[in-house]
Chains A and B, each alone.
Chain A
Amino acid sequence: MSLGYPILSTLIWLPIIVGFIVLFAGRNSPAFAKWFSLGGAILTFILSLPLYFAFDTTTSAMQFVERLSWIPQYNIEYFLGVDGLSMPLILLTTFTQILVIASAWSVIKVRVEQYMGAFMIMQGLMIGVFAALDSILFYVFWEALLIPMFIVIGIWGGPRRVYATMKFFLYTFLGSVFMLVAFLYMYFQSGSFSILDFHAMPIGMTAQILIFLAFLIAFAVKIPMFPVHTWLPDAHVEAPTAGSVVLAAIMLKMGGYGFVRFSLPITPDAAMTLDLLVIALSLIAIVYIGFIALIQSDMKKLVAYSSIAHMGFVTLGMFVVYAIVRNTGSVEGAALGMEGAMVQMISHGFISGAMFLAIGVLYDRMHTREIGAYGGVVNTMPWFTFFAVLFAMANAGLPGTSGFVGEFMVILSAFKANVWWGVLAATTLIVGAAYTLWMIKRVFFGEVANENVAKLQDLNRREFIIMSILAFAIVLLGVWPNPLLEVMHASVDNLLIQATTSKLY
């Protein structure tokens, strides 16, 4: 599929150009910086819609492809394209961006143009990550992203921002260096940096294992998976609201996306050998992190840990395929897990974004995220409580919200692979509800806890609109997930074939 114009390039470069314009022209005019960024974000979102509506759901081939030579000496290309795995993530990015820009409207008072500029540039880079089909191009976008995020947390962050940024940067950078080494190795073997060529090339077992582990380190840090997850709560706590939203809603998804774009198709034999490692880490994320979330006293930390637990479903759903094949001899039942993982990524984008925005609403008013500082917020902010309870229910996986769909699919599929995996994954029904609703109870219900809570003002119009849009998305995806699933089927089927076809020579 292709339109008459290079849609992917537009989506990548438009926000980046807007970002630079804001950066240089908005120095003395915060209003211009905000409005121009918001306009850019909305325009990008509108321009991204053809990706969905013109998408050919019958093929797993790359669509909207753009391919130019970039550094011919090394056969590096400017190669873009999307399939059913990446396209929804790009839409999630363009959608979230509008809310991200709007959320910072009146909160950020210093260096507004730099803040907005950083986020606009970040958006272009994130879309680049999801659209790149050349591994070096992918790597450039992937690493370039660290810079604006580093700046956002480092400048507008909380008191321990330096520690958090360093931790964030070192972790992710360390992870991606291994990925680069893997790319270089495969380039020397195949003479190409194209990801599609990597998919097709045969690789020996030892090399596959090493490549798989290199990818695992890179993506596990990003997702993040146990035990390389400890940077996330720190980064979230220190990041400004919009930074947390981008981090949770989009950047974590890059790790999950890496598994389906790189690990499974490039190193299927290694993935089959080491699937239990990933499954074990996923289940630890779901159960162990759930208990940690339970006892957090900082709302952002709680939601950050909850994010890790929810991302555990993503990796679990992606890797159950091998056990299903081993047990039943066919991939039947695995597509449910894989698609569940993809749905979980989109849904988690909405829900974690919504949760962090909601915490931001409170933080803007009270300048604390300690649960103990709140109590009885419903008495002063009834509308906000309505949204918060809705988001919390979605976070707890209530049917009818998007949070249910992915978890449900993954639990079913995991149960098929191994009864105990299903059992452990399903504990999230209890633990997830416990940590989310206990927080809700302590923050929102009861008598007004103190005079600060008594002075709270309910949502203003801007916040109300942001919350409404997210609530609408969460409920729509929960009530009718089919439109999202339709675009994935062909790509997921193809991915399952790739993931279960040996590449040994």
Chain B
Amino acid sequence: MSNLHLILTIIMLAPLFGAIAAGLFGRQIGRKGAHSVTIGSVAVSTVLSIYVFYHYIFNGAETYNAALYTWMVSDGIRFEIGFLIDSLSATMMLVVTFVSLMVHIYTIGYMDHDEDYDHDNPYYQRFFSYLSLFTFSMLSLVMANNFLQLFFGWEAVGLVSYLLIGFYMKRESAVVANLKAFLVNRVGDFGFILGIAMVFVYFGTMDYQEFFDKLSEHEHTMMTFIPGVEWSVITVMVILLFIGAMGKSAQMPLHVWLPESMEGPTPISALIHAATMVTAGIFMVARLSPAYEMSEAALQFILVVGALTAFMMGLLGIIQNDIKRVVAYSTLSQLGYMTAALGASAYAASMFHVLTHAFFKALLFLAAGSVIIAMHHIQDIRQMGGLKKHMPITYWAMLLGSLALIGFPGFAGFFSKDSILLAVGESEIAGSSFAYALLLMGVFVTAFYSFRMFFLVFHGNESDYVKSHKIHESPKVVTVPLILLAIPSVLLGLFMIQPILSGSYFADAIYVLPAQDVLASVYDKYYDGVVGFILHGFMSLPVWLAFAGVALAWFFYMKRPDIPAWINSKCTRGNYVLQHAYGFDRLNEIVFVNGSKRLGHFFWKSVDMRIIDTGLVNGTVNKVSGLAKMMRESQTGYMYHYAFVMIFGLLGLLIWALW
């Protein structure tokens, strides 16, 4: 076993060890023991991930592809658990472990007191156990070298997400939300597993590398599943896999679970529902870029889904009043940007946005959590206001995060988002101009809702609540992670933009057809050094749209709050549509939830009970007993009756024998 193999094994398993220790022996080791062991094990993973990252990104190490153990062999196919480590997985490993470590530390402060639980309830240990279990699951997903393990990690993060959304198990809203999250994700997984089945059927392997090697063989393979209509195997396969990504990365119409996932405690909103898990779908498509490149139809589909999600979910961010929901809708919208980039074949830009978003969105969530702590778990931004002077560190963290989010030139989010916009603008596949328009409008919307929240929370007049309560800055375990996350949120882009656009960063992991390589043409046309790129940003439309959004938010909510109120009262219909989030929930409720129940009732009452049981089974029984009754009546007990029957019987036999 090589050194690297051992290191990778430790990276993956250390958080699992922490999770088991804190989860099963939480009472024995106590609170301190639980957070020490989980933070310690995640720290080990983080440090080793930094080493692996350095090894791959700076030393350009060879791709490492090896099995950890054989899960099973069946039908001559090896199903293995293993590692595929290259620039893509090394980067994701670092992001996952680093953000996870920050969230672990932050949690010490956030979960210290909890109104839902008594102090002697080991909820605290359980929470740390889940966090570490999540880290393990996410690592096994990003480190996988095969579809089986990908699916394992995929479902395991879904499980932990389920457990964490429903962490406040007494709250009806929380346990409804987690059931919904799991089931909606299962709808995506339904597509995903069928995609994996296609990999099995046409490629006969679960291993990524073997799959890539065989891709060209099936370039023109067709299949029919509706008679008379032929489909390209690769297109169907990658769209099925993408349906899985739509569930996990919350693309319309499978996005409905993410806003409600905010029922979970804030640290997990940051870690799972913003920084890492929801980007699993993006990661998966990037990982399988050689396959996606072969299907333009699939890319078009992805592009349009992403752009629609980016714009429509952003709009919903404007009308939210719960601080976490604003950030949640912003996450949905940003995931749309990432997805759209995938559709434009700008995988590297998409992954770039995954990275910058991981940091600045975790920052925003944790800052929002810090506000929530200060406000004693009040989350309504209308009850806040003027918090700036009470919590300066949180204020600056939120400001930097928001600037990164809206793409202020120079901030990390600017580089990644501008790459995406330029790439989609360069793209020539069908639907790209439509997508580009949506994404541009989305920039304005993003800036508007972000700063609406920012102004309402930190500026303006103090609300009655703020006046009447002592609001103070959160403890160090909360603020230090904020500061540590703020650094990459501001600086990361400066270092990464060049290698990302030039294609050198993910050269060993992401494959783009030369004809579709939009990032390369963006690089040629727009990139002449970091400073030049920033200057170019200042002179281009998206940045001014962002500024306009900020300005309008300030004008509406600081200067003339009567205007948005007036608009609300005038545009009742539009407001209604937005308040009901376009009616997706209502539709699901009526069609799928009630429909399934009704179908179940019909099957049970009408088919199982009426036709089968009453009709056939008991019907048969009744007939049998009817027959028995007849027979019973024939048994009269009179000897001469029996004698008669015997004689007739004998006669019959004789006749039959002599015939």
Residues on A close to B: CB < 8 A? 167, 170, 227, 230, 288, 291-296, 332-336, 339-340, 376, 378-379, 389, 393, 398-400, 404-405, 408-409, 411-412, 415-416, 419-420, 422-423, 426-427, 429-431, 433-434, 437-438, 441, 444-447, 479-482, 485-486, 489
Contacts and interface: CB of A to CB of B under 8 A. Distances in A.
B179 A405 contact: no
B71 A482 contact: yes
B193 A481 contact: no
B201 A333 contact: yes
Contacts of B198: 415
Interface on chain A toward B: helix, strand, loop, or mixed SS?
helix
Contacts of B616: 227
Contacts of B547: none
A445 B166 contact: yes
A121 to B, nearest CB: 29
Contact of B72 (A332, A389, A405, A426): A405
Interface string B588-615: 0000000011011101100110001100
Given A295-B601, A378-B169, A415-B200, A332 B73 contact: no
Given A393-B159, A420-B225, A408 B193 contact: yes
A167 B617 contact: yes
Interface stretch (B94-102, B148-156, B271-279, B305-313): B148-156
Contacts of A412: 196-197, 200-201
B186 interface: yes
A415 B200 CA distance: 9
Given A333-B75, A333-B201, A445-B166, A433 B186 contact: yes
B207 interface: no
Interface residues of B, number: 55
A475 to B, nearest CB: 11
Contacts of A411: 193-194, 197
Contacts of A167: 617
Contact of B603 (A291, A416, A433, A480): A291
Contacts of B225: 419-420
B182 interface: yes
Nearest to B202: A416
Given A411-B193, A412-B200, A339 B75 contact: yes
A430 B190 contact: yes
B354 to A, nearest CB: 24
B77 interface: yes
Contacts of B156: 398-400
A317 to B, nearest CB: 11
Contacts of B640: none
A398 B153 CA distance: 11
A485 B617 CA distance: 39
B75 A227 contact: no
Given A430-B187, A480-B69, A332 B75 contact: yes
B175 A446 contact: yes
B9 to A, nearest CB: 15
A318 B279 CA distance: 38
Interface in B310-363: none
Nearest to B126: A382
Nearest to A324: B201
A335 B597 contact: no
A415 B193 CA distance: 10
B607 to A, nearest CB: 8
A167 B71 CA distance: 42
B628 to A, nearest CB: 14
A413 to B, nearest CB: 8
Contacts of B194: 411, 415, 422-423, 426
Interface in B145-204: 151-152, 154-156, 159, 162-163, 166, 169-172, 175-176, 179, 182-183, 186-187, 189-190, 193-194, 196-198, 200-201, 204
Given A420-B225, A437-B179, A335 B70 contact: no
B169 A291 contact: no
Which of A333, A376, A434, A481 lies at the interface centre, i.e. has the most chain B CB atoms within 10 A of its CB?
A434
B74 interface: yes
Contacts of A416: 197, 200-201
A452 to B, nearest CB: 17
A427 B191 CA distance: 10
A294 B603 CA distance: 11
Given A294-B600, A415-B201, A426 B190 contact: yes
Contact of A336 (B74, B152, B196): B74
Contacts of A427: 190
Given A333-B201, A485-B73, A426 B603 contact: no
Interface of B: 69-77, 151-152, 154-156, 159, 162-163, 166, 169-172, 175-176, 179, 182-183, 186-187, 189-190, 193-194, 196-198, 200-201, 204, 223, 225, 596-597, 599-601, 603-604, 607-608, 612-613, 616-617, 621
Contacts of A291: 596, 599-600, 603
A378 B167 CA distance: 11
Contact of A230 (B71, B196, B613): B613
A339 B74 contact: yes
A332 B77 CA distance: 10
B169 A429 contact: no
Nearest to B593: A434
A441 to B, nearest CB: 5
Contacts of B70: 482
A433 B197 contact: no
A445 B169 contact: yes
Given A412-B200, A445-B170, A481-B72, 20 more contacts: A288-B603, A293-B600, A295-B600, A295-B601, A333-B75, A333-B201, A335-B74, A335-B75, A336-B75, A336-B200, A339-B75, A398-B155, A399-B155, A404-B155, A409-B74, A415-B201, A430-B186, A437-B179, A446-B169, A482-B71
B179 A438 contact: yes
Contacts of B196: 412
A308 to B, nearest CB: 10
A44 B151 CA distance: 38
A401 B49 CA distance: 28
A215 B519 CA distance: 64
A318 to B, nearest CB: 14
B416 to A, nearest CB: 32
Contact of B223 (A419, A422, A441): A419
A230 B608 contact: yes
B596 to A, nearest CB: 6
Nearest to A408: B193
Contacts of B187: 430
8 contacts: A292-B600, A292-B604, A332-B75, A398-B159, A399-B151, A399-B156, A415-B194, A446-B171
B74 A429 contact: no
Contacts of A434: 183, 186, 596
Contacts of B162: 437
Nearest to B616: A227
A429 B76 CA distance: 26
Nearest to B224: A419
Query: What 6 pairs between A and B have smallest CB-CB spacing?
Result: A415-B197, A295-B600, A445-B175, A291-B600, A335-B75, A399-B152
A416 to B, nearest CB: 5
Contacts of B72: 405, 480-482, 485
A372 to B, nearest CB: 15
Contact of B152 (A293, A333, A400, A444): A400
A431 B607 CA distance: 19
Contact of B597 (A295, A426, A446, A481): A295
Contacts of B601: 295
Which of B597, B600, B601 lies at the interface centre, i.e. has the most chain A CB atoms within 10 A of its CB?
B600
A438 B617 CA distance: 31
A441 B165 CA distance: 13
A416 B77 CA distance: 14
B608 A292 contact: yes
Nearest to A445: B175
Contacts of A444: 169
A423 B196 CA distance: 12
